[in-house]
Structure 1
Amino acid sequence: QTIEEIAARTFRSRGGRRATSSGLRNFVLDRTNAGHTFLLRKAKERILARTKGKYPAPLAILDVVGTGMDKGPRRGYEAEARAFGQLARSVTARHLMQLFFSANTAKKDPLSTPSGTPLRSFERLGIVGAGSMGIGLAAQILHRRALPLQVHDLQTGNLTRCLAAVDQYLGQQVALSRLPRHRLPLLRGLLSTTTSYEGFRHADLIFEAVPEELGLKREVLHELEQVNQGRAVLASCTSSLPIKHLVPDLAHPEQVLGMHFCSPVATVQLLEVVRRDENPAELVRSAVAFGRTLGKHVIVVNDGAGFYTSRCLAAYLNEAAHLFFEGYRVEDLDKTMLEWGFPVGPMSLLDELGLDLATRTIQLLHQTFGTRMEPPEGWDLLLTDGRLGRKALKGFYTYSRKRGKTGRVDPTVYNLRPPTVTTLRNPDLVTVTRRLVLAFVNEAMHCFHDGTLRTPSDGDLGAVFGVGFPAYLGGPFSYLDHCGAARVVGELDDLANRFGDRFRPSQILCDSARAGATFHGARS
């Protein structure tokens, strides 16, 4: 039957009364083969748009539903049983289960679980810096913990924006039924702002969230210690500066640790707690416990430039910049990694993070790790041309003050490349993927080898929940176990010979290849 015939019959059955368009539409979609076909096709399009075909379960579920709709419940149940058996044995399922095991392993970490020593109680909180990090953190603390919180900034305009942004966020949670409306006045009353440190005198936990400048962070931490007299835990939200470089002038450096909330705080599910040997174990455990009450996956890493997630992300973005200056188009780089499974392309991410922050991070890591983090020639031209990304409405993409990102690449950005570089119209996207993915994976191995990263499980959790490494691959360590260390070492050696020593494989990866070992053992 055609849809027109069904509509005519329905109209006659109702005695000639005109059916509402929504009622007729629902009838056609629910009760006809044509409607079923249309629904399943549209559902498949939406699934593929979100998953890029990397996750087989949603498509299998859709097939099972289609079988049940077309051939009846019994055939549908049989199809469901077959599909479940096939999916449970799939590589994707093994990777996702490994990620689940990694999350459970992190919860049993001796530095994450309570011991005989009581955890510290954080009841009065402070945040220094009302930028995007401070605002996001304030919103999460009020929503998840409902604790008294004071936000400090020297600019009253920043404090006004903070209050408005937090209020907007809480209103959104009410609209999404994640927060009862009657709690709004209480939560609003818990938040206060100030341009002085007087209110921090009796705080238990103070977050330093000022811009990523070493001198400024040292000054703020010193002032906080003086006001608070060393009673509070001071948590720096730095994304890359070693904590040991922030504390040389403090009387109680053991009270300072890193709590790197990956941005944006409201949506990214990871917290890196950065410890040093001077930190008491109960202080680290207390910070981990607090992070979990904010709904975060928490990993504990050892102090060092870039920690774990920022180092891996920097290696990935730095390689994307090398590709750009070699002639690859912005849209090709972004599309390639979106298709591979990252939530955002590397060039878009550089615009979102800001080229100034990315530059400071790359410079720090280049100074620390040498050739491996050397930026491409021409990187500085992006800054001198004012391409700071979204916040400056000028980056790799074009931006509108009202609508934000337009989705169009700014063609003038290509003028910053050397005149000898021509835009590649038929790029080798397989090599692009290998270079970007293996830059990330190899840096994860370096982090594990030098002790920054404590376990492969933490490495997978941090990469997936912190910086968007595709979950269907389970994280860089699960990905290595699947590919085989020997194969990856061979690919890295090939890339190193073609593109430079930054691709030389990590020693621990070479050792694993020679031993035929895996990082997750039998479970991988």
Structure 2
Amino acid sequence: MSVTATASMIRRQIDHGICLLTFDRPESGANVFDAATMADLDQQLDAIEEDDSLEGVVILSAKKSIFIAGADLKTLLRQAQTGEMRSFIAEGQRVFNRLAALKIPTCAAIHGACAGGGYEVTLACDWRVASDDPSTRIGLPETSLGLIPAWGGCTRLPRLIGTEKAAEVILKGKLYSVRDAKGLGLIDEVVSRNQLLDAAKAKIREGKRPASSPLPQADVGEPRTTGNLAPGRAYKIITKTLGRSVEESLAMELNAISELGEIDATQNLIRNFFLAEKYKRGNSKQPVEKIAHAAVIGAGVMGSGIAQWLSSRGVSVILRDVGTEELTRGLASVEKTYADAVKRGIMTEEQAKQGRARIVASSVAIEMRDVQVVVEAASEKLEVKKQIFRDLSAKTPEAATLATNTSALSISDLAGEVKNAERVIGLHFFNPVSRMKLVEVVVGTETSDDTIARALTFVRQIAKLPVTVRDSPGFLVNRVLFPYLLEAAELFENGTSAQEIDDSLLQWGMPMGPLRLIDEIGVDITVDIANTLEKAYGKRDRASKIESQAPVSIGTKETRRLRITKSTNGASQPPSRAPLRMAEGTWQIA
């Protein structure tokens, strides 16, 4: 193997006639496409085109857990604000077209996150092989930022996997595990990391990808979102250009992203992304002890979800509840979440096995000598929580952080039950814990700076996004969310159909309708939180009669379903544990 050239972002090596292009952005843990990287790739393609001895090209990354993260969003935001985005995207299209036009076979060897422009460069290759490492996630998330995949994503992906699957990938804007990516056709082969280069070379030896017949165009439903215009623009390109030339389709991509970049909503979505990244990193300069041992009090939906998540991130967990039935249901929920993670390729069976083994469940008092943080997740009743905190004050090490997962109750009131009130803080996770990134870090009147620092570090340690808020009823999220939910319930009570309410918000761009969200939260919990908020903020947060009087089927926590019935004769139906579905005028049991 001999090194023939090194650019500032990309290394070029020749290995027995195969050119290896290794992306390795200096002094950075991630590879991104900015103007300099695009110029480097263009330069490397010059050399490749001039070397008649080459038999193929393999694109790799030298980074530990990132292949290529996509376009440099700082560059995109600046260009969106100055009107320079069009020329940058056009240059990327030109360079990727050069890669796609090479006469020798090309293969992307993907390890780590491969997103946006990082995946689009692989679409310009003949073949794509990926490592089976959990860090390898593949997709086109641009629509979640108000943009579209405009370096060929909307053009080449439908030609590779068909319009229906391409629309799913692009409009959802999510990253897929390698297993799901393989099933969708985003990649050709999955191998272990140490076999990745050999697998890519084997693909090179197969030659250029055979020309395939155009896939039939499926009937894909048009997204009806008025809040974020990007899915609609992507949809038109995906469905309207399959019979046209690549050049025509790329021109539509370029026009669409240039126009979307000028919209305030797009620029705000990109800024929000940077704010989230800022909170993920934090700015604390003080070293804080890593959490290895935790306890969770309460094995309900939230408690079991928190315990599962902590154990999956390497934390040993004591899961405590007063009843064996509650623990049994909680552990079943933990098992289901782990099984789902394995099925989706998020973790291996061995990793799930290790995670399960980190949880010790008990319905009786258990020694907490080594516990560094306790998360209370019992029912949303102030007196119940106060009793728990009195017990924790006496039975936990004085250095342990005492946290509550309350949705709306006062942190300071709970801290009043603890000898050292400065160690009490709120850690408000959201349901389902395994999928919701946000955690509200709620600071009480007595909470110390050290406790805040430990809590923030802990939340980041377990790969969640912490947002610090002060102790006030509803904190931040529920103060914003509940007027919206309660108005939806009031509309329903006054005669608007559930279908119409939820569909209107889905069309606007919300991921879930407000009435379905109430059911996911639980009508009983919704009413409890609304009552707390009403005491502080008045009737704007008052639960509607239809919520307050709704029949409730508690059942098991993880299978609980609730029903609100609007009937003409005033008769309420008995509660049921069957799944809920929406119907005209009624939330019905399926």
Match of 1:295 in 2: 463
Which residue is equivalent to 2:393? Answer: 225
Aligned partner of 1:114: which letter?
S
Structure with greater proportional strand content: 2
Structure 2 CA distance for partners of 1:205 and 1:113, relative to 1, 3 Å: same
1:362 aligned to which of 499, 516, 530:
530
Out of 309, 320, 323, the position equivalent to 1:155 is 323
Instruction: Kindly provide the CA deviation profile for residues 90-118 of structure 1, in whole angstroms up to 9, marking residues without a partner as x.
Output: 3432231121232244357xxx4222x32
d(CA) in 2 for partners of 1:98 and 1:154?
45
Out of 327, 333, 358, the residue aligned to residue 165 of structure 1 is 333
AA matched with 2:515: M
* Amino acid aligned to 1:359: V
After superposition, the CA RMSD in angstroms is 3.0
- 2:295 corresponds in structure 1 to 126
Say if 2:561 and 2:577, in contact at 8 Å, map to a contact too.
no
1:366 and 1:58 map into 2 onto residues whose CA distance is 38
Find out whether 1:99 has 2:268 as its counterpart: no
- How big is the shift at 1:182? 2.2
**1:405 paired residue among 580, 583, 587:** 580
More helix by share: 1
Q: Which runs of 5+ in 2 are unaligned?
A: 1-210, 567-572
State yes or no: 1:113 paired with 2:286.
no
Q: Distance in 2 between matches of 1:194 and 1:179?
A: 26
Is the 2:393–2:417 contact (alpha carbons within 8 Å) kept by the matching residues of 1?
Answer: no
Q: Percent identity?
A: 25
Whether contact under 8 Å (1:259, 1:274) holds in the other structure is: yes
Aligned to 1:79: 252
Query: How do 1:239-250 and structure 2 match up within 5 A?
Result: 239-250=407-418
2:429 maps to a residue whose letter is F
- Does the Cα contact within 8 Å between 2:226 and 2:508 map onto a contact in 1? no
2-structure distance, mates of 1:324, 1:237: 30
Give the Cα separation in 2 of the matches to 1:399 and 1:391.
14
Q: For each residue in 1:226-263, what CA deviation from the matched residue of structure 2 results, as whole angstroms up to 9, or x when unmatched?
A: 11142310110000001011121211111110000011
Structure 1 residue 53: deviation in Å?
5.9
TM-superposition CA deviations, 1:279-325 (whole Å, max 9, x none): 22232122122222333222100001111111222212222233233
Residue by residue over 1:69-110, the C-alpha shift from the partner in whole angstroms, topping out at 9 and shown as x without a partner, is: 4332333333333333222223432231121232244357xx
Counterpart residue number, 2:143: none
TM-score normalised by L of structure 2? 0.57
Report the number of matched residues.
Answer: 369
Quote the offset at 1:273 in angstroms: 0.4
Partner of 2:362: 194
- How much has 1:122 moved relative to structure 2? 1.3
Instruction: Give the Cα separation in 1 of the matches to 2:225 and 2:212.
Output: 27
- Structure 1 residue 254 and structure 2 residue 427: aligned? no
Q: For structure 1, list consecutive stretches of 5 or more residues without a partner in the other structure.
A: 1-28, 414-524
Shift of 1:388: 7.2
8 Å Cα contact 2:460-2:466 kept in structure 1:
yes
For the pair 1:275 / 2:466, whether they are aligned, the reply is no
CA distance in 2, matches of 1:323, 1:407: 15
Partner in structure 1 of residue 433 of structure 2: 265
TM-score (norm: length of structure 1): 0.64
- Corresponding position of 2:213: 31
Number of the residue aligned with 1:492: none
Report deviation, 1:30. 5.6
Measured in 1, the distance between the counterparts of 2:248 and 2:583 equals 48
Give me the whole-angstrom Cα distance separating, in 2, the residues matched to 1:396 and 1:263. Answer: 25
- For 1:78, give the aligned amino acid: A
Q: Deviation digits for residues 16-64 of structure 1, max 9, x if unmatched?
A: xxxxxxxxxxxxx9625xx55x23x42xx1x52xx63654334434544
1:88 lines up with 2:261 in the alignment: yes
Letter in structure 2 aligned against 1:404: P
Query: How do 1:247-396 and structure 2 match up within 5 A?
Result: 247-376=415-544, 380-382=548-550, 385-386=551-552, 391=560, 393-396=562-565
Is residue 141 of structure 2 the alignment partner of residue 141 of structure 1? Answer: no
Aligned to 1:477: none
CA displacement at 1:277 relative to structure 2? 4.0
> Which one-letter code corresponds to 1:183 in the other structure?
Q
Give the Cα separation in 2 of the matches to 1:67 and 1:338: 24
Write the deviation string for residues 450-473 of structure 1: whole angstroms up to 9, x where unpaired. Answer: xxxxxxxxxxxxxxxxxxxxxxxx
- Name 1:431's counterpart in structure 2: none
Moved more, 254-263 or 99-108: 99-108
Q: How does 1:442-457 map to 2 (within 5 A)?
A: none
Cα separation, 2, equivalents of 1:338 and 1:67? 24
Q: Name the structure, 1 or 2, with higher relative contact order (CA <8 Å, separation 6+).
A: 1
Aligned with 1:57 (options 223, 226, 230): 230
Distance between the aligned counterparts of 1:262 and 1:209, measured in 2? 11
Give distance in 2, aligned partners of 1:68 and 1:410. 41
The 8 Å contact of residues 388 and 395 in structure 1, kept in 2 or not, is answered as: no
